[in-house]
Amino acid sequence: MGKTNFAMATQSVLKGISQVLLIDNAWSGLLILIGLFFASVEVGFVALVASCLGTATAYLIGANRDKIKHGLYGFSSVLTGIASLLFLEGDSKYIAALVGAVLAVFFTVAFHSIGAHFNLPALTFPFIAVTWCIILASYSMSHLHLSDVTAVTAIHEMTNNQQTVDIFDTLFKDFGEIFLQNSYICSFFILAAIAISGWRNTIMASAGIVISIAVVYICGLNLHDLEMGFYSYNTILTMIAMGSAFHKNIRGSYIYVALAGILTVLLTPVIVIVLEPFGLPALTMPFVATTWLFLIIVNSVEKGDY
């Protein structure tokens, strides 16, 4: 019995990691976790603790057991914990990571409820909201210090006109970037996590990379940013969300999926610029904004009332 509970808890925690990629698979979560440990022991450890904390908090406040079991209360905590490590410095960043991981659960409850009014999932928005608050709050807190990487997802303007891209970087860095890591080995483990979760997710993730490369070239966006994966990690998430996790069988459904992918790339610099006056990184907001927009459209098409 205790063993079953332990197995259940382990599964919830690992799925809390895989659900960042909208994947409901504990083995995928384990592979990602190993990847994160390879990227940095610190990051791997915080991801594990944050997933445990998020899941435990959800359990304590009496959240839906089924949602907990599928990791739906862990993934925003995982990302918030990792982001706190990246954007802050000094020992207080660990406290921020833990507090952030707990807060993310409350934000998840709130945004689930608001989203439900529009028939939309919260996606990673709780993570985005909490992380933005932590970054902004740190400006006024003498015990919290911003690190230098706040501008990590800054899209460069055309003046920085790199002419060629390292295709290897371009193809693989984006997977790590989903967890804010700039590491090949981490990317490979995440890629493996997607691969074992099913062919549909794999195809969608690959298509996401192809679309982002194509759109970046066609529109003359910055090649260095493409290389760093800044344009593709959001696109990969949108493609998995629209083409797999929330896929709807409507007429021409894959045209909507492709359009959503393309729009994610186009919206990335838009959101980066809107956030510039506030000194905030875009995080996964391009994925969230585009997926909400297209879920509303696809829901309308399915109901036939538009």
Shortest CB 275 distance to its own copies, Å: 10
Answer for which of 3, 4, 148, 158 binds its own copies (CB under 8 A) is: 158
Touching its own copies, residues 40-99 (CB under 8 A) = 61-64
Q: Judge contact between 100 and 79, C-beta under 8 A.
A: no
Q: Supply 260's token pair.
A: 């959503």
Which of these segments, 27-35, 74-82, 171-179, 291-299, binds its own copies (CB under 8 A)?
291-299
Which of these segments, 36-44, 74-82, 110-118, 205-213, binds its own copies (CB under 8 A)?
110-118
Shortest CB 196 distance to its own copies, Å: 31
Beta-carbon contacts of 188 under 8 Å, excluding residues fewer than 6 positions away, are 35, 172, 175
Shortest CB 254 distance to its own copies, Å: 13
Q: Cβ closer to its own copies: 68 or 205? A: 68
Q: Cβ closer to its own copies: 47 or 96? A: 96
Give the whole-angstrom CA distance, residue 282 versus residue 268: 8
What radius of gyration, in Å, describes the C-alpha atoms of the chain? 18
Answer for which of 147, 150, 253, 299 binds its own copies (CB under 8 A) is: 299
Is 114 among the residues that bind its own copies (CB under 8 A)? yes
Is 297 among the residues that bind its own copies (CB under 8 A)? yes
Which of these segments, 5-13, 35-43, 111-119, 192-200, binds its own copies (CB under 8 A)?
111-119
Give the whole-angstrom CA distance, residue 110 versus residue 106: 6
Task: Give the relative orientation of helices 199-219 and 232-240 as an angle to the nearest 10 degrees.
Answer: 140
Positive or negative: CA dihedral 209, 214, 220, 224 = positive
Give the whole-angstrom CA distance, residue 153 versus residue 119: 30
Q: Judge contact between 234 and 208, C-beta under 8 A.
A: no
DSSP 8-class letter at 243: I
How many residues interact with its own copies (rule CB under 8 A)? 57
Q: Cβ closer to its own copies: 7 or 151? A: 151
Answer for which of 267, 282, 285, 288 binds its own copies (CB under 8 A) is: 267
Bridge partners for 146 per DSSP: 88
Q: Judge contact between 225 and 156, C-beta under 8 A.
A: yes
Is 185 among the residues that bind its own copies (CB under 8 A)? no
Instruction: Give the DSSP letter string of 177-216.
Output: HHTT---HHHHHHHHHHHHHT-HHHHHHHHHHHHHHHHHH
Binding site for its own copies (CB under 8 A): 61-64, 103, 106-107, 109-110, 112-114, 117-118, 132-133, 136-137, 139-144, 155-158, 161, 218-222, 251-252, 259, 263, 266-267, 269-270, 272-274, 277-278, 293-294, 296-297, 299-301, 304-306
